[in-house]
Structure 1
Amino acid sequence: MRCEIRHTTEYHYPKPAWDSFNQVRLHPIQEVRQTLRSFHLNVTPEAEVTSHKDYFGAIVHHVHVHEPHTHLLIEAQALVDTHPVTLPLPAPMSVLRGVRSQHTEFLVPSPRVPAGPWPELFGVARPGPDDDLPAFLMSLTTTLYRMFTYDPKATTVSTPLAEFAQLKRGVCQDFTHAMLGITRQLGVPARYVSGYLYSGGEMLGAEATHAWVECLIPGYGWLGYDPTNNCLAGEKHIKIGHGREYSDVSPVRGTYYGGGQGKLDVAVHVYGEQ
């Protein structure tokens, strides 16, 4: 599937701001499941733009606007071809024993996914060593989809996981953190994925950057699960990058001097064709 992405981030300030520095993670990653055809980052006013690869391999752009300004526009345009997902063969949960030590960064607690009895808190039965790992992960995806209600007004980017567990309402970030908490407590290496979603109108979370989980299946690799939409991450999912949690892959964040209380507007448009 060919996907054309346009992501605009606009800041409006009541007073001039200067030395605005933004860290931008909007560059889709190149991997087996997708091919990056082109990427362009446009900034108004004129800015100093540099880039580097972060610890997890994603390309990060640094946007520095020196001059005073009351309006900042960061626009990312990308063209990506996504490819069908091949399904893994059945594998018992016990196959994880030999790989956990190699992926501890995706098993240990993090600020937004702290340690806790998440399987019990979310009512998820712990699988046995002979239970099928891919089947369990798909079942867990379905369980979380049915348990929670997608509600963009219920939470913010700083809502703790424990609070979401009580609310049972939130956005893709919350669904993803919940699944990370459960899988990591069960010894399944799992990472947070930031990206885009082409919905065609029938999937949740396409109005902004989307989030889902990638779990490690030994002998296969990393497979994406989207608990917000109860599906595998397939051709309609465009990946930007991954990390331990949202903080590792937040799309745009930065600082500036002056300006007063700024207003932020974000728009995401994903166009696709088979």
Structure 2
Amino acid sequence: MRLTVEHRTHYRYQTPAYHAVQSLKLTPASFEGQKVINWSITAEGCTIGSEFTDGNGDIISTLTANGPVEAIEIIVTGEVETTDTAGILRGHKERAFPAVFLRSTPMTKSSSAIRKLAEKVARKSKDGPMLELAHGLAEAVADAIEYAPGTTHVHTTAADAIADGKGVCQDHAHVLISAARHLGIPARYVSGYLFADQDGKPHEASHAWAELYLPEFGWVGFDPANKCCPTDYYIRLGAGLDGQVAAPVRGVHTGGANENLDVTVVIAQSQQ
């Protein structure tokens, strides 16, 4: 499948910023199941450069803007060819050891509810393969957290989400990561795009899921929000210990009080 992407991130400051620097994890890598045909990142009045590939195999670039800056709009456009690999990440070049992703963060810190969920699934899958356990964890998280947009925010932790029983894809990913790490399974947060859900409905937003490291297969993606593994409807941008680390845009600025952020993402199937 060929998918086109248009992703706009618009920052506006009530008072101008003197200087802004942002780390952009907005360029997908090519690997088995994902081939980048063309890709572009632009931001009028800003400099984008210093591109490098980090230890996770993700492509990072840096945006700088010298003030006074009243607004920054980052525009990403591109086309990617995808194929379904049943969620298995193959051919992705990275140097970090999977054990790095056993480390907890404030966003993924476990709670008694998360530990109970993980241990319950582990008991059911006691004599089964690791893949069965991983699917069981993803299913349990999907059942424990109702998909309810607007009920959580970017700072909602895994413990908060499972306590409320409601959330979005970020919350599903954080809880799954926390549960997997509790059982000694390396797990990481993945940011990207989704063309449509399993019912074929349009999905015009950024998306997030989790990857668990299973010795037999390597990294395998699980999307509890849609109760599936990533398919050719997904474009993978990058990964990290949690949603804050894996965020497509991270940065700092001096001055620029009362920052307003607006993000629009449109994913379509190419006619070619």
179, 182, 205: which one aligns with 1:182: 179
Name the SS for the 2:57 alignment partner. Answer: coil
Note the C-alpha offset of 1:232. 0.8
Note the C-alpha offset of 1:250. 0.8
Q: Is the 8 A contact 2:144 2:162 kept in 1?
A: no
Distance 1:192 1:201, change over 3 A: closer
Counterpart-to-counterpart distance in 2, 1:162 and 1:142: 17
Counterpart-to-counterpart distance in 1, 2:161 and 2:78: 33
Distance 1:200 1:86, change over 3 A: closer
For the aligned residues, what is the CA RMSD? 2.4
> What amino acid does structure 1 have at the position aligned with 2:14?
P
Give 2:130's aligned residue. Answer: 133
Distance 1:23 1:260, change over 3 A: same
Note the C-alpha offset of 1:139. 2.9
Note the C-alpha offset of 1:115. 4.5
| Larger CA deviation: 208-217 vs 137-146 | 137-146
Give 2:5's aligned residue. Answer: 5
**Pairwise mapping of residues 161-200 of structure 1 onto structure 2 (< 5 A)?**
161-199=158-196
Q: Point out where structure 2 has 5 or more consecutive residues left out of the alignment.
A: 89-96
103, 111, 115: which one aligns with 2:106: 111
Distance 1:133 1:200, change over 3 A: closer
> What amino acid does structure 2 have at the position aligned with 1:130?
D
Give 2:91's aligned residue. Answer: none
Describe the superposition over 1:100-155 as per-residue Cα deviations: whole angstroms up to 9, x where unpaired: xx532122322221244423056733245521222232233222222211122111
Is 1:47 the counterpart of 2:47? The answer is yes
Is 1:124 the counterpart of 2:127? The answer is no
Give 1:78's aligned residue. Answer: 78
Name the SS for the 2:120 alignment partner. Answer: coil
Distance 1:201 1:188, change over 3 A: closer
Counterpart-to-counterpart distance in 1, 2:168 and 2:86: 27
Is 1:153 the counterpart of 2:150? The answer is yes
Note the C-alpha offset of 1:257. 2.5
Q: Is the 8 A contact 1:150 1:204 kept in 2?
A: no
Per the normalisation by structure 2, the TM-score is: 0.87
Q: Is the 8 A contact 2:121 2:140 kept in 1?
A: no
Is 1:247 the counterpart of 2:244? The answer is yes
Is 1:69 the counterpart of 2:69? The answer is yes
Counterpart-to-counterpart distance in 2, 1:79 and 1:47: 23
Note the C-alpha offset of 1:45. 2.0
Q: Is the 8 A contact 2:14 2:257 kept in 1?
A: yes
Counterpart-to-counterpart distance in 1, 2:159 and 2:202: 22
Q: Point out where structure 1 has 5 or more consecutive residues left out of the alignment.
A: 89-101
224, 235, 238: which one aligns with 1:238: 235
Distance 1:227 1:201, change over 3 A: closer
Counterpart-to-counterpart distance in 2, 1:235 and 1:103: 24
| Larger CA deviation: 106-115 vs 259-268 | 106-115
Give 1:99's aligned residue. Answer: none
Structure 1 consecutive aligned stretches of length 4 or more whose deviation exceeds 4 Å: none
Q: Is the 8 A contact 1:172 1:205 kept in 2?
A: no
